Amino acid sequence: MKVVGLMSGTSGDGVDAALVDISRQKSGLRVRMVAFHPLPYPRSLQQRILSASVSGTVSEICHLNALLGEWFANAALSVIRTAKLHPEDIALIGSHGQTVHHLPHGIKDAGVGVIRSTLQIAEPAVIAERTGITTVANFRPRDIAAGGQGAPLTPGVHALLFRHPSRARLIVNLGGISNVTYLPRGSGIGELVAFDTGPANMLLDGLMSRTTNGRVSMDREGRLAARGRVDGRLLAKLLAHPYLSQVPPKSTGREAFGVKMLDDLITMQQTQRLAIEDLLATCTRWTAEAVGTARRWIKGGIDEVIVGGGGVRNRAIMSHLTDVFTPVPVNTFELHGWDSKALESVAFAVLAYQTATEQCGNVPTVTGAAHPALLGCIVPSGPGWLARLRSHRGRR
Ligand SMILES: Nc1ncnc2c1ncn2[C@@H]1O[C@H](COP(=O)(O)OP(=O)(O)O)[C@@H](O)[C@H]1O
Ligand SMILES: [Mg+2]
């Protein structure tokens, strides 16, 4: 069946929409990407999302939830047009939404205990209404309710797409945050090791934006970092960040590597009189080394590192990663036939398919959940939605 996956990550750079064809074969699910359409947010919307994630008022979050619903619906309609298909051809939409807050460790509430939470917005009712397609959203809260971190949710999909009988692979996603999935040779789902490794584009984007008064949103191709020099003392300090030595399962976000960290870095830059290029070079190296810490929790070797996410376009990160993992080859998703920017949205199409076909999407050994869980909330397309979904299941 044809499913659209929608994703906007912690970078808040825009909605990525993938249209995929999913079919069940004897060997497991077969997933093929039909079309991909990234819909970038204007800078002003990105800034609004990022500041709402830290200090949004209830009314701003309420408004953004509906506004982003419209953006997500537009992204879905655009990718369907790109594929020269119609909404009737699509069985389901899987929407990750936009994370505005993620508190997997929770907050202690008197008399109740520790309450753990996560909040993704982009109203699925708006998506279902505008597209006329049944929409699955809010994937993370069920895993959290079952005792997990709610993240990462992509490792099961990584296993589906990249598992190899004789090669152990480390899948790396360089989004706002970096996360890894280790796939031992011929691994079963229970043998996966996956977690967020630390900050990636989030801090680099933040530094660029801060030091240019919001004019420049990213270190394009990593050019500025490539001109700088890594400051050994600062790097050692950054590598001592407690998140890097925390034992998995673990997940992180803007709460740990957001505004406060940026303030600290800018202060350090000023007191140590570092050039911005040097600060960027150091943080870029930190990103790669944080990914390298994954090896502490992996039993067994790595035959290949496969990297995706927007950070693949940052040549400075890629060259540091090659250095950190030498002699293991570091390749991109493209070498394996997948668009680096598209894979997370593909994953949420697969997760929606799994929910609609009553398969659990989380990997408990990865998230720490007490059991496999059926993820998400389903917003029906309208009357007759179940019969329509069944007819899509019967189609090839
Ligand atoms: N040409 C490029 N050069 C350097 N960095 C890039 C480039 N294109 C994208 N990026 C980085 O990738 C980020 C978006 O990656 P993405 O995988 O969408 O992350 P997220 O899942 O957090 O939204 C951008 O914010 C930017 O930092
Ligand atoms: Mg993105």
DSSP 104-157: EEEEEETTTEEEEEEEEES-HHHHHHHH-S-EEE--HHHHHHTTS------HHH
One domain for residues 169 and 103:
no
Give residue ranges with CB within 6 A of ligand 1: 9-11, 13, 175-176, 201, 204-205, 218-222, 309-311, 313-314, 341, 344
Non-local CB neighbours of 182 within 8 Å, separated by 6+ positions? 168, 169, 170, 171, 192, 193, 194, 294, 298, 302
Strands 92-109 vs 14-25: parallel, antiparallel or unpaired:
unpaired
User: Within this chain, do residues 142 and 290 fall inside the same structural domain, yes or no?
Assistant: no
* Spans in the chain with pLDDT lower than 70: 187, 396
Domain that holds residue 257: 156-336
Residue 187 contacts residue 203 (beta carbons within 8 Å): no
278 and 292 share one domain? yes
Cis-peptide, bond into residue 327, ω within 30° of zero: yes
Instruction: Quick: pLDDT tens for 101-119.
Output: 999 888 999 888 999 999 9
Helix axes 276-292, 315-325, angle to 10 degrees: 40
| 144 and 47 belong to one structural domain | yes
List C-alpha distances in Å: 48 to 28, 30, 137, 364: 41, 38, 22, 34
Ligand nearest to the CA of 199: 1
141 & 208 share domain = no
Of all protein residues, the one whose alpha carbon is nearest to atom 14 of ligand 1 is: 310
Tell me what pLDDT residue 107 has. 93
For residue 207, the model assigns a pLDDT of 96
In terms of domains, do 274 and 207 share one? yes
**Over the stretch 67-78, which tens digit does the pLDDT of each residue have?**
999 999 999 999
What is the number of the ligand 1 atom nearest to the C-alpha of 177? 22
Last residue of a domain, one of 336, 356, 372: 336
Q: What is the pTM of this model?
A: 0.94
27 and 101 share a domain? yes
CATH classification of the domain holding 289: 3.30.420.40
How is residue 64 annotated by DSSP?
H
Q: Does 315 lie in the same domain as 175?
A: yes
Express each pLDDT in 331-384 by its tens digit: 999 999 999 999 999 999 999 999 999 999 999 999 999 999 999 999 999 999
CA distance 239 to 286: 7
> Of ligand 1's atoms, which has the minimum distance to the CA of residue 201?
27
Shared domain for 130 and 208, answered yes or no, is: no
Alpha carbons 396 and 382: distance in angstroms, whole number = 23
Question: What pLDDT, on a 0 to 100 scale, did the predictor assign at position 396?
Answer: 55
Q: Choose the final residue of a domain: 303, 321, 336.
A: 336
pLDDT recorded at residue 293: 96
Do 349 and 317 lie in a common domain?
A: no
3-class DSSP assignment, residue 345: helix
The pair of three-digit structure tokens given for residue 344, joined into one six-digit string: 């997370």
Are 205 and 257 in the same domain? Answer: yes
Domain count, the chain: 2
Query: In this structure, are 239 and 309 located in the same domain?
Result: yes
Q: Is 309 left (phi over 0), alpha (psi -120 to 50) or beta?
A: left
Which of 319, 336, 353 corresponds to the end of one domain? 336
Q: Which ligand is nearest to the CA of 280?
A: 1
